[in-house]
Structure 1
Amino acid sequence: MLPINAQTALDGWISAATPVVQKMYGQTDSSWAEVRAGYVDGLDRLFPAPEGVSFTQVDLGGVCTMVITPENVIEGRTLFYIHGGGYVHGGVNAYRGLGGNYAKRLRARVYIPDYRQSPEYPFPVPIDDTFTAYRHLLETGIDPRSLAISGDSAGGAMVVTIMRKARDANISLPTAAVAISPWADLTHAGESASVRDGLDPLCSVEFLNRLARTFLDGELPTHPDASPIFADVRGLAPTLIQIGENEIMLSGATRLACHLGDNRVRTSLEIWPGMFHVWHLFAGLLPEADQALRNAVRFLEDALPVIKEE
């Protein structure tokens, strides 16, 4: 059972997502822009930014990107964070809380690209926008030895995809990666899609299948850029995968971890009993969220160099 304040926030998240579900099923005349804005505003209220961080925006190759800077920052330390939302309904302002907590704990500037989303901009546009932002961030002079990457849900899958694209383009990879609740298998063929359907309060297999069809727009769900469990992942940076035991995406995440390990990528997998999709948003409300975020930061800090603080 969740603490009362965490349960209240979870109920609020479900309520904020309801118009998205209605839009997916054609039950509202609201535009996608209106539905997204309502969802993002809802999450921004439920999971507000912590004190001690500031927000600005930069343009990275035409991709508007939110920059979060903590008061206590290790100069040069950078986290490239990719937000979730099924490639359809997320937004950077929904991540002021999680991004701000990440920034404070890692003592890093956090860059969150506001990539375009389907159905207006289906596969591969969200991925291409994110890679464009990553490439241009490196072109600003960021030292890749002090650069980490993380993301959740669709963004968790893109963590692997962006590293692959960097490798294939012969540009620098980050020093380490954390994939939170990654949507790594858009076929939903694993066991968790059947035995855990109904356990996760935020996702159902039927809804995820609709999201996948909307995003893919006719492309196969086995495309390696959409489902990294089918990709060539050799040579990627050390990666931590965190997944909740109650998640429909559990099988995909565990298969991704095995796939990375089989291809000689140093991989750590954490399965959190009783946890639901992207519980990290509940930092400050749920002990497991604080603990998981602390583990993510520790994993990244072990890989990042020690740099003189400002």
Structure 2
Amino acid sequence: MNSMEQTSNTVSKEADFLRALYQDWSDRMVANPNMTIADFRSLFDEWEKPTLEPEGVTYKSDTVGGIDVVWAYPIGCDKSKVLIYTHGGGFAVGSSSSHRKLAGHMAKALGVSSIVLDYRRSPENPFPAQLEDAAAVYQALLASGIHAKDIGTIGDSAGGNLAVASVLKFRELGLELPGFVIAFSPWLDMELTGATLESNDATDALITVPLLQGMIAMFTGGDSTKVRDPLANPLHADFNGYPPLYINAGGAECLLDDARRLHDRALAAGVQATLSVVDGMQHVFPFLAGRAPEADKEIERIAAWYKTLQK
């Protein structure tokens, strides 16, 4: 189906906020090679900084399916339609706090509600705890009377992996599948074979192979056989019968090849799949929602895509 390369000669000065934040994190990680997991989590909770607060969105803390969550309710939204948002952060860091505003922007653009999961994180809870938590929330939403077709999974980076893999988990559990999937800069390949890991190393201000290797060790609990498990590495999955899929990535990021390969695998299985790559953008550039035109235009494209699914 669709593959869009959004090219421009310049990156907006507003978009540089994200690159500068990532560079600051990278510098701090280099300066403190003995960072604890608590240090990492504090660092990555700064991920909310690039996102401006969306206007007209309210939030509510809740527990759904035994999982702590934060709801985003845009004023006038259709609460019978839900985005299940799984946050990024290498399965180990990130939270509803870091991702609440981005989930709010997405819910507002689509006119629906969003639920941000504080799923169990590694290393304390390795794979597949995260997918079990996503499945528990999905089953609770279905039990509450929300229709599967009115639910979408959405996530970024490792949370993009979870947005993709959770649907595979739902299928394994014999559940009706959700209506659609949205993945921002998904990190899918636990074997780290993507060519852009090397070719974009100089332009990606955050992602490095050593950083990913550390996240993989925590996620898999040190079990190297899990890096090829389709629920941990969806590039090995069977996508037959999969819901419509929207994938985006930044042209400057190391994980670009993960997005491209997911798109190729989905198309090969007959899935309605769209890939949007925005030139010069960093990892999970929609974090710039409300701040940079590149993010706002991308969210508009996703909203237009979502509307075509509702017809």
Of 256, 273, 278, the residue aligned with 1:272 is 278
- For the pair 1:71 / 2:75, whether they are aligned, the reply is yes
1:254-287 Cα shifts (integer Å, max 9, x gaps) = 1111111111211111222111100000012221
- For the pair 1:283 / 2:289, whether they are aligned, the reply is yes
Instruction: Tell me which amino acid in the other structure corresponds to 1:87.
Output: F
- For the pair 1:223 / 2:236, whether they are aligned, the reply is no
**Aligned equivalent of 1:136:** 140
- For the pair 1:12 / 2:21, whether they are aligned, the reply is yes
For the structure 1 residues 274 and 202, does the alpha-carbon distance in structure 2 shift closer, same or farther, using more than 3 Å as the test?
same
Q: Bigger relative contact order, structure 1 or 2, given CA contacts below 8 A and separation 6+?
A: 2
**Aligned equivalent of 2:4:** none
**Aligned equivalent of 1:308:** none
**Aligned equivalent of 1:3:** 12
**Aligned equivalent of 2:106:** 102
Instruction: Tell me which amino acid in the other structure corresponds to 2:119.
Output: Y
In structure 2, distance between residues paired with 1:214 and 1:287:
36
1:61-88 Cα shifts (integer Å, max 9, x gaps) = 2111110000121242221111111101
Instruction: Tell me which amino acid in the other structure corresponds to 1:287.
Output: P
- For the pair 1:36 / 2:45, whether they are aligned, the reply is no
Contact 1:200–1:276 (8 Å) recurs in 2:
yes
Kindly report structure 1 stretches of 4+ aligned residues shifted beyond 4 Å.
Answer: 16-23
Deviation at 1:137, TM superposition (A): 1.8
Deviation at 1:224, TM superposition (A): 0.9
Contact 1:127–1:158 (8 Å) recurs in 2:
yes
Deviation at 1:11, TM superposition (A): 2.0
Identity in percent: 30
In structure 1, distance between residues paired with 2:127 and 2:170:
18
**Aligned equivalent of 1:158:** 162
Gaps of 5+ in 1: 306-310
What TM-score do you get using the length of structure 2 for normalisation?
0.89
Contact 1:20–1:89 (8 Å) recurs in 2:
no
Of 249, 256, 263, the residue aligned with 1:243 is 249
- For the pair 1:167 / 2:171, whether they are aligned, the reply is yes
Greater alpha carbon shift after TM alignment, 140-149 vs 63-72: 140-149
State the aligned residue count. 300
Gaps of 5+ in 2: 1-9
- For the pair 1:195 / 2:204, whether they are aligned, the reply is no
In structure 2, distance between residues paired with 1:21 and 1:93:
25
For the structure 1 residues 60 and 248, does the alpha-carbon distance in structure 2 shift closer, same or farther, using more than 3 Å as the test?
same
